[in-house]
Amino acid sequence: MELEGRGAGGVAGGPTTGPGRSPGESALLDGWLQRGVGRGAGGGEAGACRPPVRQEPEPNPDYEALPAGATVTTHMVAGAVAGILEHCVMYPVDCVKTRMQSLQPDPAARYRNVLEALWRIVRTEGLWRPMRGLNITATGAGPAHALYFACYEKLKKTLSDVIHPGGNSHIANGAAGCVATLLHDAAMNPAEVVKQRMQMYNSPYHRVTDCVRAVWQNEGAGAFYRSYTTQLTMNVPFQAIHFMTYEFLQEHFNPHRQYDPSSHVISGACAGAVAAALTTPLDVCKTLLNTQESLALNSNISGHITGMASAFRTVYQVGGVTAYFRGVQARVIYQIPSTAIAWSVYEFFKYLITKHQEERRAGK
């Protein structure tokens, strides 16, 4: 093509056909000129004289499809960070929830709402009292949530491919959440037992090691898993509702599954609130099994509350039907920001790690 012989006028508006050009070449050049491709910064002929190099826009990394070979590691790292931050940030409210679920609390530990409870705990027991037991919780939350999210993501994709190939299956989401809960609670249950005993009013334990030693010596190793079946009975429906609600809301707020912090926060908060409210009776029974509350034990002839049926019976004997919903306000208030933090932090770190991996792959 006789590109060198064209002047600025030909570029600006002159004919695009000329001697030595075939119709195909003229059509190609017309397309370049109409799109402004090949011109220099000032629109001069220097840019027009060089055949343009078409650069396809780089596609954004597929957020939901992580690089092969790194998926499990990415999910575990993001999940561990999310779990630790979630529990640490919301720990004071969790302390209040544990106390408000007490069946027969000490008169000094009767609270009207979460804010009043926090104020009274800090004023009468010290500034750091609501944080007692945080270290054991953070220690357990890391591995528990790493297993939790890694298992969920893997099973969700596997089951969705079977149930609804190429799409999202709510059944797969719920089933994956249930199985992931088995691993999460197996890792987290001992930490929950120690944490809740340290959170109770007038707890005799000031250090985690003191609590662990006392439980081991007085009740045996089985005490750390006494509430495991009830924990599963509570958490399996909780997580099924939680994950199904989250994925359902994501389909509406974030149908293309891009990294969208606002949609992750809203979906996580709503999912946590719904699941928390519906499973509060089971959480009350779990707290009773973990703490073995002395005043409640006086109404139980067996001495120790050892199973879900026994816990349900004791709760009813002590407080009636309304006792099953003790602490529901604190539980919902805890879960709304808790699940919002967990999902937003998890999706953020998942996005960062995925993007970093994609950039490394593109640079090779």
**Cα–Cα distance measured from residue 363 to residue 356, given in angstroms and rounded to the nearest whole number:** 11
- Any domain includes 185: yes
* Domain CATH code at residue 77: 1.50.40.10
- Any domain includes 203: yes
- Selection from 221, 163, 229 nearest residue 194 by Cα: 221
- Selection from 145, 149, 141 nearest residue 91 by Cα: 141
> How large is the average pLDDT for residues 123-128?
93
Between 174 and 5, residue with greater pLDDT: 174
Q: What was the pLDDT predicted at 232?
A: 87
* Reported pTM: 0.69
**Cα–Cα distance measured from residue 322 to residue 341, given in angstroms and rounded to the nearest whole number:** 30
Q: What was the pLDDT predicted at 146?
A: 95
Sign of the C-alpha dihedral, residues 169, 173, 178, 183? positive
Q: DSSP letters along 149-190, please?
A: HHHHHHHHHHHHHHHSTTS--HHHHHHHHHHHHHHHHHHHHH
DSSP secondary structure code for residue 321 in this structure: G
- Any domain includes 15: no
Q: What is the pLDDT of residues 6-59, one digit of tens each?
A: 444 443 444 444 445 555 555 544 554 454 444 444 444 444 445 555 554 444
Are 353 and 130 in contact, with CB atoms under 8 Å apart? Answer: no
- Selection from 127, 123, 122, 96 nearest residue 111 by Cα: 96
Are 231 and 287 in contact, with CB atoms under 8 Å apart? Answer: no
- The pair phi, psi for residue 138, each rounded to 5°, is -65, -40
Residue 82: domain span: 67-219
- Any domain includes 115: yes
- Any domain includes 276: no
Residue 87: alpha-carbon gap to chain centroid: 11
Measured N-to-C along each axis, helices 134-163 and 170-199 cross at an angle, to the nearest 10 degrees, of 170
DSSP secondary structure code for residue 60 in this structure: P
**Cα–Cα distance measured from residue 171 to residue 174, given in angstroms and rounded to the nearest whole number:** 5
Joined tokens for residue 247: 């994925």
Max mean pLDDT range (71-75, 81-85, 283-287, 301-305): 81-85
Report how many domains make up the chain.
1
User: First and final CA of the chain: distance in angstroms?
Assistant: 36
- Computed over every residue of the chain, the mean pLDDT equals 80
- Any domain includes 86: yes
- Any domain includes 18: no
Are 104 and 293 in contact, with CB atoms under 8 Å apart? Answer: yes
Q: Which amino acid is at 83?
A: G
Are 243 and 271 in contact, with CB atoms under 8 Å apart? Answer: yes
- Selection from 240, 253, 40, 276 nearest residue 156 by Cα: 240
Q: What was the pLDDT predicted at 265?
A: 94
Q: What was the pLDDT predicted at 33?
A: 47
- Any domain includes 325: no
